[in-house]
Amino acid sequence: MSMDQVLRTIRSFDGVLELAPGEGSAFPELAWGDHFFYYAPDGEVPTREQPYATIVTKNYPDDAPSRLDEPDRWRLNIHAGTKKFVELLGEDPRSPVRTWDLAATDVVLPHPVHRAQGWVAIVVPGAATHELAVRLLRDAHEAARRRASRRPR
């Protein structure tokens, strides 16, 4: 599963807003080349709402265990929620962190930084995680849509 395939999948969702900071944008240089996805059919970034999925292409401060600074590595991050996190990983996201190989590719892992909020990560998604990644992305998008429908206008 290439990054382009993941991007095409997410971009096909109704009401998706993608932020893809690049050189010359108002975003910090650290975010250039990464992608942040929101449910926002009006095209406006929701206030007080985090993205429901991200694609990161490099290490961020305090987030190096995925080894994204190595060639051809990137990570898909998805807000799965507590219930799905437990179902996928067999532990509560707020439980003490057990040892995970956070650099493993094509497997679902707890997010190295945001696990307590129910985020999962897949480093270089491939054949083993393709279908699951698409399902998780659709579920996260739908959950963001439901949250948006409850927000006052």
Q: What is the pLDDT of residues 119-136, one digit of tens each?
A: 999 999 999 999 999 999
How many whole angstroms separate alpha carbon 82 and alpha carbon 92?
A: 7
- Least trusted range by pLDDT, from 46-50, 76-80, 104-108, 137-141: 46-50
What's the pTM? 0.95
Residue type, 32: W
Q: What is the pLDDT of residue 97?
A: 76
Number of H helices, E strands in the chain: 3, 6
Confidence of residue 98 (pLDDT cuts 50, 70, 90): confident
